[in-house]
Amino acid sequence: MSNTHPRDVQYVPIATDTLVLRARSWTRLRFEIEFARAKGTTVNSYIIQGDRTAIIDPTPETFSEIYLEALRQCLDWSKLDYVILGHFNPNRLATLKIILERAPQVTFVSSVIGASHLKEAFSEQELKVLTMRGKETLDLGKGHVLRFIPTPSPRWPEGLCTYDPQTQILYTGKLFGSHVCGDEIFDEQWEILYEDQRYYFDCLMASNAPHVLAALEKISDLQVRMYGVGHGPLVRYGLIELTKSYEQWSRTQANREISVALLYASAYGNTATLAQAIAFGLNKGGAAVQSINCEFAEPDQIRAAVEKADGFIIGSPTIGGHAPTPIHAALGIVLSIADHSKIAGVFGSYGWSGEAFDLIEGKLKEAGYKLGFETLKVKFKPSDVILKKCEELGTDFVQVLKKANKIRVPQTAATPTEQAVGRIVGSVYVLSAKQGDVSTGMLGAWVSQATFNPPGITVAISKDRAVESLLYSGGKFVMNILPEGKQQEYMKHFRQSFAPGEDRFAGFSTAVADNGCTILCDASAYLECTVQQRMECGDHWVVYATIDNGKLLQSEAVTAVHHRKTGNQY
């Protein structure tokens, strides 16, 4: 997406006495683990000007200069009374400090945990802080009597929604957002935005599903006509549909046959990011994930989660050569349970050493626990390649648990309908996809031409495939069509287990397509494609892509096809 102003701030009235300031980043393509959509983002802040004035969620420091200039044009610093924080993030401290310098009279409004973070960050200053536990209100005058709804989750334990009954706007912070940058203030084309909202949910909210449901319950009695989201277009036109979808998506997590407790603590945010990426993979693999931030969880909560789960994963930073106290406490609880039938895993980030991983892994092994994957140790901030590896690690961990629990599709005799479906054949292909430094591939046969003009195909991709998260609208891939006689070699290769992040094409003769994806030199033909749409269909995604380029490599070759005996398996 091109724009002559890579970063700017829109400020637009959205309701009585209410403005939104949308700090737009047209070129930012990665946000923790959400990098597949690559549509930029907006960071939304709000101003309510009654008899008293409040700002909701000032922007991160990367926007400080242009955001503060926009604020100057919208309000008088001497009349700024409150700064409301829906969540706390250290990257916003620089902006908060400047606001405090220009408006020393300001009072911060936050949740209990948010207030604790604020006081720690401004330990050398006397701050005025109002702590909102859920029953308090804040009267700004002119009918703007704000209500506050704590919405804690493991990722954002300080979460706080703000409701203004005068305008019926609910300021939701992280809930209901999307990473999309554009000129549209509202979600007029909410059907088109749906895919971005779903991706945002899958990345950030799915592993916190119980907390999302709790938040939905808390806001259910409010008369809301608009969600003032933290990122992306404000939700007005698709509000009812999106709320229903959040509930539906969250409830599906509870009905899964495999469950995983994901325990972590994070010193600088890197371990939390790794945890989020692993949780994304666990969800893709079909597990119900209970994420627990050990810094804020009660011992009984940790114990109950581990006892209920089929497996657990512990993530820790290394601080001063040790795991932090909350992880030591959580590890003690796990060891006291002593249920060795549960599969374990260990991961974390470090700066100069990684003693915490060896400690946790050693204690688990001594107690008789089996590890479902090789301990993941990440130095400093994780790259996109590492995050993709975390995703695959999570998906593979679910398969380990299913195997341990002997969960598999029953091998029953095929019904007449399944036998008939099995007569549908497809060309055998190897699909390769690449985005930035992340690349992967898969073998399949569920492909069909879909359109003449423009030339297009549809491909069915299982939800737990590694390549799935690269096949969103705008994603690029190459369809390598295999010749008869070659498919067995590729079937044998791609049916083996790959380590997370392992090169799927090692040992094959390859070239690079114009779109950056891998071409197999012994394919009979290849097609360079761009994803246009995708539709959720049961246990698969059906992807529609248009063909940008292609080449016939072996004019005399006959295309390999895959014949199945039944339609209930590949």
In this structure, which amino acid lies at residue 107?
T
Please give the mean pLDDT across all residues of the chain. Answer: 91
Higher pLDDT, 517 or 415: 517
Confidence of residue 30 (pLDDT cuts 50, 70, 90): low
- Specify the pairing of strand 169-173 against strand 226-229: parallel
User: How open is the CA angle 375-376-381, to the nearest 5 degrees?
Assistant: 155
- The alpha carbon dihedral of 382, 383, 389, 390 has a sign of positive
Q: How far apart are CA 528 and CA 449, in angstroms?
A: 14
Share of the chain above pLDDT 70, in %: 96
Structure tokens at 4: 């002559």
pLDDT at 28 over 80: no
pLDDT recorded at residue 36: 62
Residue corresponding to tokens 């909210």: 205
Which of 331, 437, 452 has the alpha carbon at shortest distance from 388? 437
Mean pLDDT of 18-37: 76
Angstrom distance (rounded) from CA 235 to CA 237? 6
Q: Is 521 helix (H, G, I), strand (E, B) or coil?
A: coil
Amino acid at 484: E
- Judged by average pLDDT, the poorest of 206-210, 220-224, 368-372 is 206-210
- Cis, bond preceding 210 (omega within 30 deg of 0): no
Domains 7-252 and 256-404 share a fold: no
In whole angstroms, give the CA distance from residue 260 to residue 343.
9
Residues 6+ apart with CB under 8 A from 240: none
pLDDT at 410: 54
Rounded to whole angstroms, the Cα distance separating 267 from 269 reads: 6
Q: Are 260 and 309 in contact (CB under 8 A)?
A: yes
- Token pair of 328 as six digits: 């030591």
Selected from 3.40.50.620, 3.40.50.1820, 3.30.70.100, 2.30.110.10, the CATH number assigned to the domain covering 416-562 reads 2.30.110.10
What is the model's pLDDT at position 421? 87
pLDDT in tens, 250-285: 998 877 889 999 999 998 889 999 999 999 999 999
- Per-residue pLDDT, averaged over 158-175, amounts to 97
CATH superfamily of 7-252: Ribonuclease Z/Hydroxyacylglutathione hydrolase-like (3.60.15.10)
Whether the CB-CB separation of 124 and 116 falls below 8 Å is answered with: no
7, β-bridge pairs:
25
Residue 201 carries which DSSP code? I
Separation of alpha carbons 22 and 95, rounded Å: 15
What pLDDT, in 10s, does the model give residues 38-54? 678 899 999 999 999 99
Q: What does DSSP assign to residue 75?
A: S
Q: Three-state DSSP class for 83?
A: strand
Average pLDDT over residues 385-408: 88
Answer CATH for 256-404 from 3.30.70.270, 1.20.1050.10, 3.40.50.360, 3.40.50.10800: 3.40.50.360
**Token duo for residue 364:** 């688990």
Nearest partner of 60 among 39, 47, 45, judged by Cα: 45
Distance of alpha carbon 266 from alpha carbon 76, whole angstroms:
38
Digit-coded pLDDT (tens) for 291-310: 999 999 999 999 999 999 99
When pLDDT is averaged across residues 383-393 and rounded to a whole number, the result is: 91
Report pLDDT for 29: 54
Using CA atoms, how far apart are residues 280 and 282, in angstroms rounded to an integer?
6
pLDDT tens column, 109-147:
999 999 999 999 998 888 999 999 999 999 999 999 999
| Cα radius of gyration rounded to whole Å, the chain | 25
User: How far is 131 from 118, CA to CA, in rounded Å?
Assistant: 11
The answer on pLDDT for 3 being more than 50 is no
Average pLDDT over residues 346-367: 89
Q: Residue 1: is its pLDDT beyond 50?
A: no
CA end-to-end distance (rounded Å), the chain: 39
Q: What is the mean pLDDT of residues 436-451?
A: 93
Residues in the chain: 570
Query: Which residues lie below 8 Å from residue 452, measured CB to CB, with a gap of 6+?
Result: none
Cα angle: 290, vertex 292, 295; to 5 degrees: 175
C-beta atoms surrounding 237 within 10 Å: 17
Q: Would you state the pLDDT for residue 2? A: 39
What are 2's two structure tokens? Answer: 């091109």
pLDDT band at 493 (very low <50, low <70, confident <90, very high): very high
User: Under a CB-based contact definition with an 8 Å cutoff, are residues 480 and 510 in contact?
Assistant: no
Confirm if 184 and 24 have CB atoms less than 8 A apart. Answer: no
Residue 59 to residue 466: CA distance in whole angstroms = 34
Q: How is 438-499 classified by DSSP, letter by letter? A: EEEEEEE--EEEEETTTTEEEEEEETT-GGGGG-STT-EEEEEEPBTTTHHHHHHHHTS---
Q: For residue 535, give every residue at least 6 positions away whose Cβ sits within 8 Å of its Cβ, in sequence order, or none.
A: 541, 542, 544
Is the per-residue pLDDT at 423 higher than 50?
Answer: yes
- Going from N- to C-terminal start, the domains of the chain cover 7-252, 256-404, 416-562
